[in-house]
Structure 1
Amino acid sequence: MQEFCREHLPEFPITVLEGTYLVWMDCHRLGIHSQELEQRLVNEAGLWLNAGTMYGTEGKGFMRWNIACPRTTLAEGLKRFTGFVRNL
């Protein structure tokens, strides 16, 4: 995921925490409230991420990815996210 994001989504920095299967993506650049972004990703890209605000005000502008899945599933999710942001 780190390599893909560096190459294809450099404007969306990610934070990978050690010892967990969760990744935080900084989506401030989109200018869309986290909860609205969460709904739009579901409705427009078929992608289920968690709004950072679900975890407190510090999560504003962030989306949480659960990467405990097959690589093909993660690759498809990243492809959908990329398509979504490129079509905004």
Structure 2
Amino acid sequence: MDRNGKTTKRLPQTIVTALLSGRHARVGGRTPRERGCNLTLIAASYARDEILCERGIGPASADRIEQWLSAQGLAFRRPADQVSDLSQHIENIP
């Protein structure tokens, strides 16, 4: 939910741009279209401390991403998890 108590269905464009051009964007595919279709995979490939290192992402944006992932049954990866392990986990989600 956002500050007004509404469910967060979409991410602001600034966050989407940061995810699509961030260090884990390649997890979503090679082309911008593939990455756009796999935005949840890209977002879930970050640990919270990693996402905070991306340009344009601060604590409030990280909270927003976390809520957005949670609404889809996902979460930031734990720092000990490998990004490659996550993609296998995501593929098994119905």
Q: TM-score w.r.t. structure 1 length?
A: 0.33
TM-score (norm 2): 0.32
